[in-house]
Amino acid sequence: MATTIHIVQRMAPGGIESIVLDLARLDPETRVISLEGSRQSLIESWPSLSALGDRLEALAKSDGWQPRIWLALDQLFRQHRPSAVITHHIGPLVYAGIAAMAAGISRRIHVEHDGWHYAAPRRRLLARMVDRLVAPRRVAVSHVTATQVAGALGTIGQTVIPNGVDLDRFRPGDSLAARVEFGLPREAFLIGCIGRLERVKGQDVLIRTLARLDTRCHLVLAGEGSERANLEALAKVWGMADRVTFLGQVNRPERLYPAFDLFCLPSRAEGFPRSLIEAQACGIPVVATDVGGSREAVCPQTGRLVPSENEDELAAAITETLAFGPPSLSPRAFVDPAFSNALMLDRYRALTAA
């Protein structure tokens, strides 16, 4: 069997990294390289990575340009002789794309998970230079992302492969049991949001929106990030501290989703948000901001889209969704099988075999 190697910046809990982990779990011939971190530290912070065994390698890259990373990747590529190298985001493309070219690997594939980061002129210039040098086959996770990247880099001929999820793992469950397991209010209307606590994800907007909602509404934020302290302070300032639960990192989100009456993603920018697919696979209706590829990930019959940073419209969409109660058509019908991990893997295999 032919080996495929995926390269990420840092193999820590996140959307990109979860996709790579799932692809590696499904395909025993897939290896993963993390530019940053050590193998031990990565597994300690994300125990699920232990399932990869020696197929996970880490190069302990620190800040700044480090030529030794090119040499380390060149050695690994010559050792494992992969048939394809797949990079995720600009850092891995710069290092692994060039190293793969030097090692004579012809199947060089780069995945764009969003296009908004190319708004920075210096990053756009760097990406154009590396793209001309490495000439990778390009994948975008949504049609919107493909359009954004084409506009920024002039790239044509991109393949769109939407993010998938494990539909056996993410499925409808017992709401009360989930609330008990995570210590959440049993009688409240639970609005859930799972993701990195960073400004781009917009949890601050959701906290302010909570003040406009029925007092029976309770917000559950799962995830970690640099904005956690600010978000906790914001909840206190708005008098919402007793209506917001910060769960921190949840390693088995499939057990949490069934607790929610509604899942909300108030992002300021997105590529193709996997959390929306996960929530809908669990039968939970979603409300999301209409940014990036979110429109492609939301069931048009059961979900709602609103403009970014518009608290009034976000509050109205949440209120309307909760008022209607559980949808007569489960949003799972929208994601199964269109956004399955199996279909995603088949698409990547077809690309690496071409």
Work out the average pLDDT over 244-261.
Answer: 96
Per residue in 259-293, pLDDT (tens digit) is: 999 999 999 999 899 999 999 999 999 999 999 99
If you count them, how many residues does the chain have? 354
Q: How far apart are CA 354 and CA 348, in angstroms?
A: 10
The CATH architecture one would assign to domain 175-335 is 3-Layer(aba) Sandwich (3.40)
Which pLDDT value is given to residue 1? 60
Per residue in 302-316, pLDDT (tens digit) is: 999 999 999 999 999
Work out the average pLDDT over 140-150.
Answer: 93
Q: How far apart are CA 225 and CA 192, in angstroms?
A: 17
Which superfamily is assigned to 4-164+339-353 in CATH? Glycogen Phosphorylase B; (3.40.50.2000)
User: With the CA atoms of 294, 297, 303 and 306 taken in that order, what torsion angle do they form, in degrees rounded to the nearest 10?
Assistant: 10
What is the C-alpha end-to-end distance of the chain, expressed in Å? 15
Q: How far apart are CA 39 and CA 49, in angstroms?
A: 9
Q: For residue 123, name the pLDDT band (cuts at 50, 70, 90).
A: confident
Q: Is the pLDDT of residue 156 over 80?
A: no
pTM of the model: 0.90
For the chain, residues classed under CATH 3.40.50.2000 are 4-164+339-353, 175-335
Which pLDDT value is given to residue 121? 87
Please give the share of the chain, as a percent, with pLDDT higher than 70. 100
Per residue in 97-116, pLDDT (tens digit) is: 999 999 999 999 999 998 88
